[in-house]
Amino acid sequence: MKHTNPRFLFVASIVMICFATTGEAEESGAVSPRDLQAKINYCKTCHGVNAQGFRGAYPMPRLAGQQPEYLENQLQAFVERRRTNPVMFNVAHVLSPAMLKGLSAYFKDLNPKPLGGGSKELAAAGKKIYDEGVPETNIPPCASCHGPDAKGNGPFPRLAGQLYDYIEKELGNWTRERGQDRSNPDNSALMEPIAHGLTAQQISAVAAYVSFLE
């Protein structure tokens, strides 16, 4: 019996979802509970049960408890190609404004336990950087934007409970994934010098610290 390539099945499923939901992009009115639930169920395939994140071939970020304004901004960034991710481009560009707001509000109210998994030995150093920054290299405290509890504020994302390996990946690849439209800068421009100024060990420490926060 011939086996189908798993990568082909994954890509095919993404394409099917995109074609099945393109009608939403033309609809800006209220989203029905049924349609919203269908999209939530689809999000779970990558972002895990209760949107707590998922570790597979790549770390999929936690969406639970995320700031709605930040989440809406990032989904729009995928649409406008300000942020690079071929899968999320296909997912985001079919979302109507009403669906986008509905999803953002839904995820904001979720608060599952963090998956953790970061190094507890590094967490103490990460807390110091989060609270105090790195003055000698002009790195400001993470808390100054993300809040003392790391739950974010408006356009600044929640970091509490985020997968440590996802944060490592994002900070380590910042300019290759974000701020791709220099003529239309967004909040990613604020993080660019910070991401570049942190060493790999400092990034790991901060990532470990916030990954355990609830």
Instruction: For 173-208, write each residue's pLDDT tens digit.
Output: 998 889 888 888 788 889 999 999 999 999 999 999
pTM of the predicted protein model:
0.84
> For residue range 5-26, what is the model confidence (pLDDT) as tens digits?
444 344 344 434 443 443 443 3
Query: For 111-144, what is each residue's pLDDT tens digit?
Result: 999 998 889 999 999 999 999 999 999 999 999 9
Residue 106 has pLDDT above 60, yes or no: yes
pLDDT value for 208: 97
What is the domain class of 7-108 according to CATH?
mainly alpha
Q: Domain residue spans in the chain?
A: 7-108, 120-211
**Euclidean distance between CA atoms 146 and 181, whole angstroms:** 24
Q: Which CATH class name applies to 120-211?
A: mainly alpha
Report pLDDT for 6. Answer: 44
Of residues 134, 152, 186, the one with CA closest to residue 143: 152
Residue 166, Cβ neighbours under 10 Å: how many?
19
Q: Please report the sign of the dihedral spanned by the C-alpha atoms of residue 174, residue 177, residue 182, residue 184.
A: negative
